[in-house]
Amino acid sequence: MMDIRVAIFEDNKLVRDALETILNGTPGYTCCGTSADGNHWLQDVKRSEPDVILMDIEMPGLNGIEVSQQLHQAYPDVKILIQTVFNDSEKIFNALCAGASGYILKNDSPVKYLESINEVYNGGSPMNPMVAKKVLGFFSGKNVIRIAPEENDYQLSQREKEILQLMVGGDNYKSIAAKAFISYETVRTHVKNIYKKLHVACRSEAVFKAMQQGIA
């Protein structure tokens, strides 16, 4: 089995070096490149050919959200895992809608980092449930204009509605599979169908639409 190739975009040298050491010291993972900023992201990605990118939101020059947006358009198959801190609700949402597949907290353990990289590489959407709820809280109250659900019928099946509810609650694919008693792959298939029916491109948009229209 080939190693998961991971590139790191992080302006803090200590963090960058620590992540590189962890990746290169763990079987199944390889750090294929590191960057202190996103200003030359295209050359960096072409050179390193990563499967997954660990992306810091706060970087000098182009920030992680701007880089994620451009990178996702140029390399839609490369998975982006945002590194963030607990209070960045709005930035996390923006990053996810820019094309990031999930996020990890900077104070998470090395084991959690590796698990999240593996999950995003395999098509999952790693999200810390507490942060997910915080992000959703950002859209509560005045930030969400509720629309009567009967105005739009998205033809979601009962199972799809159940899965959407779990997504709104911050559950990741693995957790949804366990709670719904279905396989990880089946969850992925249902989520793809949900995106298609809701006309959205990412998890955050699906959750936002579900909250806004009272679908889940």
119: pLDDT strictly greater than 90: no
Over range 57-83, report the average pLDDT.
90
Average pLDDT, the chain: 84
Residue among 49, 45, 55, 42 at smallest CA distance from 82: 55
Measured in whole angstroms, the distance separating CA 9 from the mean position of its chain's CA atoms is: 15
Q: What share of the chain is helix, strand, coil (3-state, %, to 5)?
A: 50, 15, 35
Residue 202, SS3? coil
Q: Tally Cβ neighbours within 10 Å of residue 84.
A: 22
Whole-prediction pTM value? 0.70
- Please provide residue 57's backbone torsions phi and psi, each rounded to the nearest 5 degrees: -75, -45
Structure token digits, residue 151:
């105005």
Structure token digits, residue 27:
């079987």
Is the model more confident about 166 or about 96?
166
Burial class of 2 by CB neighbour count within 10 A (0 to 12, 13 to 18, 19+): exposed
Confidence of residue 149 (pLDDT cuts 50, 70, 90): very low
For the chain, domains (ranges, CATH) are 4-136 (3.40.50.2300), 145-213 (1.10.10.10)
pLDDT tens, position by position, 19-41 = 999 999 999 999 999 999 999 99
pLDDT tens, position by position, 193-202 = 998 898 887 7
